[in-house]
Amino acid sequence: MGLWSFYFLAKLYLYFRGFIRFDFFLNLLFLVFLIIPFSKQLKRHHKSLAVVKFSASAVLSLLLLWHDSWLPSLWDSINFVEQGGMPSREYVYRFLLGFFNLWEVAVLAAILVFCMLVRNRIRLTPVVVVLLLIVPLREFGQHRGEGGLDAFYRSESARVIRLDKVKQGSPDFDIIILHICSLAWDDLKAVAMEDSAFFKQFNYVFTNFNSVTSYSNPSAIRLLRADCGQSSHDALYNEVPEKCYLFDALRGQGYKTYFTLNHDGTYGHFATEVKHLGHLDEPILPTGLPAQAYNFDGSPIYDDYGVLEKWWKMRQEGKSRRAAVYYNTISMHDGHHWVGEKDWWKRNSLEEYKEFAQKLFADIRKFSDLVASSGRNAVIIFVPEHGLSLRGSTLQAPGLRDIPLPPITIVPAAVKLVGKGWNAAPVQTQVISTPVSYLALSYILASFLERNPFAPDGFKSQEIIHHIPETDFVAENQGVRIVKKGPDYLFYGKEKKWITLSAKSVM
């Protein structure tokens, strides 16, 4: 096989390290294809056939490597790029710089050098065959799981939080939902900000909140349907009963509702899709404001405080007794960079991420102070869409999010009360570590609507915490699912079967 031995030895090394999977049957077929010699009758055409075989082998080797990787199918990847558009050249440079692990590249280079040095002394084909046979023996004893999602979805479909009509004159507080792109606990740990003072201003902080998905559109739809239990990914793109829509329920409570964002909402048809499938109002675009940064596709990102302040003035001028807003920010999105910053893609990604996180936290704290200074009561809900995958894992390079692993979907959700009885009092942050998802936020809002936290008689915070609905960990994107079963995590992907992931690959 010559240097084709390197192809198999390199892939087997990556497989045993957990960086790729290894389809034994397809790799065996490819190996047989490579070692079958030409028949004697075709000797006179040997050169031409050798070129054809090598060309075919090169294409097949790349397709097989993609198949064995943890990446989505090639077809799905092409569709993703076609729908979202090509990112900027600088973003591609940044991604490629972070994609390759220098240590692993060095090991692969050493394997290549070894193959070149010994190919005329040792027959490497038998070595490859022996190592290849270890793969099915190794996987024979591995547990093949079953996700059990049908039972999970049946159970979730019966769970509904109803925001029942309350007595006249109540509630007397606004609801401000801040939906943050690309911020997970694991990302904050990567930049030593998991203990940031920012979270100490909140009354409730969730340390085990599952955003379910690792992409923006489905995350927003799930949040805006928070009144019902968790549905499958495919069900997100169908209409559901009216009782599931959070903003429909708030309108029923007399709330004037708004939808605003700090970007143009065109990437992935975000604004259009979320408005339709989440029953939102027409988006209020950040016109008339200077750009703070640029996204990975070159579109402008606007200052969070500037956009929120602009909406707050509009809300004040509107004179509505109560208002609710869904605000979406992409200030933390991968590939963001400050306006006027050249060669941003060469910067340390951790350092850059920390800068943007500090700016975001400062803007939200400033906006919270603005609301407090107005004398109005408000409930501020801070909830990220998903993480950035800043550190990556053995399954996915930094920035890749196709597989919704816990470090990507476990996000720092939090709730803050601003207004009467809360502004002057020292904050006693209640940390909630039980596994929860969007239904928990809906439950907290329903509890506040039922018993106004700004009323003179107050309310019992511990009662809310003890009754917050838990949700088992199930995370999914289109065609990809992660399910927690006891201490194990089960993965379902392009191979259409469940496999148990190692603890190292998950975390």
pLDDT tens, position by position, 386-426: 999 999 998 998 999 999 999 999 999 999 999 988 888 88
**Higher confidence at residue 299 or residue 139?**
299
| 219 and 293, same domain (yes or no) | yes
| 78 and 27, same domain (yes or no) | yes
Integer Cα distance of 2 and 72 in angstroms: 31
| 121 and 46, same domain (yes or no) | yes
Residue with token string 């509904």? 160
Count of all residues that appear for the chain in the document: 507
| 341 and 196, same domain (yes or no) | yes
Taking a C-beta distance cutoff of 8 angstroms, is the pair 325, 257 a contact?
yes
| 331 and 377, same domain (yes or no) | yes
What's the mean per-residue pLDDT of the chain? 90
**pLDDT exceeds cutoff 90 at 143:** no
> Last residue of some domain: 434, 453, 472?
453
- Structural domains in the chain (count): 2
**Higher confidence at residue 417 or residue 87?**
417
> Last residue of some domain: 140, 160, 184?
140
Sheet holding 480-485, edge to edge: 474-477, 480-485, 488-492, 498-501
**pLDDT exceeds cutoff 70 at 38:** no
Taking a C-beta distance cutoff of 8 angstroms, is the pair 156, 212 a contact?
no
Taking a C-beta distance cutoff of 8 angstroms, is the pair 259, 284 a contact?
yes
Measuring CA to CA, which residue among 372, 480, 345 is closest to residue 427?
372
| 323 and 220, same domain (yes or no) | yes
| 238 and 327, same domain (yes or no) | yes
The answer to whether residue 250 is domain-embedded is: yes
What are the pLDDT digits (tens) for 96-124?
777 778 889 999 999 999 999 888 888 89
| 264 and 410, same domain (yes or no) | yes
Among 71-80, 179-188, 307-316, the least confident range = 71-80
- pLDDT at position 165: 61
The answer to whether residue 86 is domain-embedded is: yes
Sheet holding 430-432, edge to edge: 256-261, 323-329, 173-180, 377-384, 410-418, 204-210, 430-432
Across 296-315, average pLDDT: 95
End-to-end CA distance of the chain: 38
| 259 and 341, same domain (yes or no) | yes
| 353 and 447, same domain (yes or no) | yes
| 236 and 283, same domain (yes or no) | yes
- pLDDT at position 43: 60
The answer to whether residue 160 is domain-embedded is: no
DSSP states of 134-174 as a string? HHHHHHHTS------HHHHHHHHHT-B-------TT---EE
**pLDDT exceeds cutoff 70 at 45:** no
The answer to whether residue 105 is domain-embedded is: yes
The alpha carbon dihedral of 268, 271, 272, 273 has a sign of: positive
The answer to whether residue 235 is domain-embedded is: yes
CATH number at residue 429: 3.40.720.10
**pLDDT exceeds cutoff 90 at 271:** yes
| 128 and 66, same domain (yes or no) | yes
The answer to whether residue 459 is domain-embedded is: no
- pLDDT at position 473: 97
Q: Is 287 exposed, middle or buried (0-12, 13-18, 19+ CB in 10 A)?
A: exposed
Across 8-25, average pLDDT: 93
The residue range of the domain holding 100 is 4-140
The answer to whether residue 499 is domain-embedded is: no
* Helix count and strand count (H, E) for the chain: 18, 14
Taking a C-beta distance cutoff of 8 angstroms, is the pair 324, 247 a contact?
yes
The answer to whether residue 145 is domain-embedded is: no
What is the maximum span of the chain, computed from C-alpha positions, in angstroms? 97
